Structure 1
Amino acid sequence: MPRVTLPAGGIEYQDTGGDGPVLVLTHGFPMDHTQWRKVLPHLDDYRCVLPTLPLGAHRTPMNPDADLSQRGLAHLLADFLDALDLREVTLVMNDWGGPQFLVSEGRADRVARLVLVACEAFDNFPPPPARPLTTLCALPGGVRVMMALTRTKFFRHSKKAFGAVSLTGVPDPVLDAWFAPATASKDIRRDVAKFAAGTPKASVLLEWSARLADFDRPALVVWAPDDLMMPPDHGRRLAELLPRGRLVEIPGSSTLIPEDQPDELARVLKDFLAQE
């Protein structure tokens, strides 16, 4: 995979190339670009760029002094767009909602369209079902304990654990690849611990979210009414907050709509891009 060096460290990414409009697709925690593997075949007319961000499935540790808080990762993503000189980008997020903070941080100048797919929003960082894990990860040795749990069937597939992110279930080989880096590397676990401890208090999150009202470009909110992680009303609230926002709901999915309903998500995304 190509790799770009940023102030915070190296980032690997997939780039489908071509002259079509640029889509930058981001992933969740602790996942990587393969979160979009089922959607990509439907997006042949677009140049899709998929960074593997330092959310736990990255294979190379970031610099020891890298800021991997929610704010720090938003700046890292903006640095990535700058480094590749990507312009007029459609920025698509799912699960991790941090890419929206490019707006509150004043670094959305390269973003022409925003797509929020069943992601963290408002003060739902992290969602309640995930909070025990992030609390664990912020403790000394906690990430190592979490990575031991990822080897269990209960953690992977129970709707009371990581299995809540998908109604259809993420295949074990994909989960193996997502969980391997932090299982093997203490420096990757250090990065995960930084992220787990890097979420500000609810009042700050709500202040950042309110600034989405300043994003005057087209925005699409895609929500899953059956989601077990993201509140059902957050989709409507986001669409109302964004000046040019629109809401589409896709039933039969939990948080990972790219996993549960990839064909329908691709159709909705292409319809939005065609209209805008």
Structure 2
Amino acid sequence: MTPITRPEALGVVHEVDLGSGTVRYFENGAVEGRVVVFVHGLLVNADLWRNVVPAAVEAGLHTYTVDWPLGSHSIPMPDADLTPPGVADLIAAFLEKLDLTDVTIVANDTGGAITQILMTRHPERIGGVVLATCDAFERFFPPAFALLPKLAKAPGSMAALTQVIRPKFMQRLPITFGWVSKRPIAPETVRSYLGPSRHNRAIRKDLARFLKTVSKRHTFEAAEKLPAFDKPVLLAWATEDKLFPLSLAHRLAEKLPNATIVEIADSYTFISEDQPAELAAHIVEFVARVGA
């Protein structure tokens, strides 16, 4: 097995016990900088933000990138509630444990759905939110991944899944990374994403527990409560995205009292992979506006 090396750009690595389990996170930036906490999606980890963090830190922000328990984490969480609301509660527990306030949450893909739930359950420590092309409404999951919750219920399915997507040609198919990243993801990053679930049965069990509970019911319930969230929200949306059309951003904007949409060209769902500099610039500008 090739050792997995995490990007130095993410900063200093830490671990924190959230009561129901431990998460690994990376911290970077000036102590006095405004706080940004990143939330990734399914089968990726904090490495998703490796090309965004440096620009954010250079602009004076203080970043926290966390390996949330969504299948690419390396510390199993067998006792945690890994339903979508449960993961949202874990994010809230992380903010409370580290006593982070007036936080800007930046979320992508599945992490965006979880963050919408977080916004309706635990808004008190949030100063603003950036939703960067993500699940919402009936697209939790989008059609290309709609069978995953059913697949997760079959014994041994997660082990088979992680082996099937191991070859490089499989990673460019629409049902893997082909429709989330317009450009091929670096091999070492793919190893970081897929290695934990491939080599650790406990991680696969965590992944299956989450997948089994994914349902558009969660995002519809959150959407009904979003009008009560009056803090600033930036909807940074990839105009060429194949999974989450721009119309989703406009529907979210109709629900949110204080939302702005920015369109990002030449990117699929993983804007942090395809257009990291542009995404970072939007985050920095948004945080400055929220602070003002």
- In structure 1, C-alpha distance between the alignment counterparts of 2:245 and 2:193, rounded to whole Å: 25
- In structure 1, C-alpha distance between the alignment counterparts of 2:85 and 2:221, rounded to whole Å: 13
Q: Which residue of 2 aligns with 1:215?
A: 229
Question: Secondary structure of the residue that 1:113 maps to in structure 2?
Answer: strand
Distance 1:51 1:158, change over 3 A: same
Do residues 10 (structure 1) and 26 (structure 2) align? no
Q: Is the 8 A contact 2:109 2:270 kept in 1?
A: yes
Question: Secondary structure of the residue that 1:164 maps to in structure 2?
Answer: coil
Q: Unmatched 5+ residue regions in structure 1?
A: none
Of residues 184-193 and 162-171 in structure 1, the stretch that sits farther from structure 2 once superposed is 162-171
Question: Secondary structure of the residue that 1:165 maps to in structure 2?
Answer: coil
Q: Is the 8 A contact 1:137 1:146 kept in 2?
A: no
What displacement does 1:231 show? 2.3
Q: Which residue of 1 aligns with 2:117?
A: 101
Within a 5 Å distance, the mapping from 1:10-29 to structure 2 comes to: 10-18=22-30, 19-29=32-42
- Identify which of 192, 208, 213 aligns with 1:193: 208
Q: Is the 8 A contact 1:95 1:120 kept in 2?
A: yes
Do residues 30 (structure 1) and 46 (structure 2) align? no
Do residues 130 (structure 1) and 145 (structure 2) align? yes
Q: Which residue of 2 aligns with 1:182?
A: 197
User: 1:53-90: per-residue Cα shift (whole Å, max 9, x none)?
Assistant: 0011111100x332101011000110011111100000
Question: Secondary structure of the residue that 1:92 maps to in structure 2?
Answer: strand
Within a 5 Å distance, the mapping from 1:80-159 to structure 2 comes to: 80-96=94-110, 97=112, 98-105=114-121, 107-159=122-174
- In structure 2, C-alpha distance between the alignment counterparts of 1:204 and 1:55, rounded to whole Å: 16
Do residues 66 (structure 1) and 80 (structure 2) align? yes
Of residues 185-194 and 155-164 in structure 1, the stretch that sits farther from structure 2 once superposed is 155-164
- In structure 2, C-alpha distance between the alignment counterparts of 1:108 and 1:260, rounded to whole Å: 30
Q: Match for 1:125: what amino acid?
A: F
What displacement does 1:154 show? 3.1
Q: Match for 1:103: what amino acid?
A: M
Q: Is the 8 A contact 1:125 1:199 kept in 2?
A: yes
Q: Is the 8 A contact 1:220 1:239 kept in 2?
A: no
State percent identity of aligned pairs: 36
User: 1:196-248: per-residue Cα shift (whole Å, max 9, x none)?
Assistant: 00124x34431222211111111100111111111220011112211010000
- Identify which of 68, 72, 92 aligns with 1:57: 72
- In structure 2, C-alpha distance between the alignment counterparts of 1:135 and 1:119, rounded to whole Å: 21
Q: Match for 2:183: what amino acid?
A: T
What displacement does 1:145 show? 0.9
Q: Which residue of 2 aligns with 1:79?
A: 93
Q: Is the 8 A contact 2:84 2:218 kept in 1?
A: no
Distance 1:215 1:169, change over 3 A: same
Q: Is the 8 A contact 1:147 1:179 kept in 2?
A: yes
- In structure 1, C-alpha distance between the alignment counterparts of 2:280 and 2:27, rounded to whole Å: 18
Do residues 230 (structure 1) and 268 (structure 2) align? no
- In structure 2, C-alpha distance between the alignment counterparts of 1:83 and 1:274, rounded to whole Å: 25
